[in-house]
Amino acid sequence: MTTGKRRRKPSKHQILISALLKDSKSCSWPNEMRVAGILLKKYDFDLLLSLKDEFKVVSLTWFLGDKGQEYLKKKKNYQKLKLEKQTYELQDKPVAPETKVVRKPRTLQDFLNIFK
């Protein structure tokens, strides 16, 4: 049995950097940690983490720019939308008068069933 040290759980900042950056190993970690802290104060962690499937950026500072701020605002507004199910109750009494639809025979069997 090996008695090695247990690995420390990564922080939200580290998870965010690893998820959103193209090359998280060769980036400036102190700068990225600072920017991740700013983003986590403004936006929800789950919202930021959901961006990892859409695209990767070179640096998190892109989200502090005009285009990045606009993009995050749109995502935040989209996440706030609550789509509720609407239920409709069907009435027993029909609203419109009943009409009979006359179909043209398309197969031989349909043609033979006309005379029944």
Assessment of whether the complete model's pTM goes beyond 0.85: no
User: How buried is residue 3: exposed, middle or buried, by Cβ count under 10 Å (0-12/13-18/19+)?
Assistant: exposed
- Indicate the number of domains in the chain: 1
Full domain range(s) for residue 25: 12-80
- pLDDT for res 1: 54
Would 69 be classed as within a structural domain?
Answer: yes
**Angle at which helices 12-20 and 29-42 cross, to 10°:** 110
pLDDT tens figures, 28-61: 889 999 999 999 999 989 999 988 888 888 999 9
Would 32 be classed as within a structural domain?
Answer: yes
Would 64 be classed as within a structural domain?
Answer: yes
Would 108 be classed as within a structural domain?
Answer: no
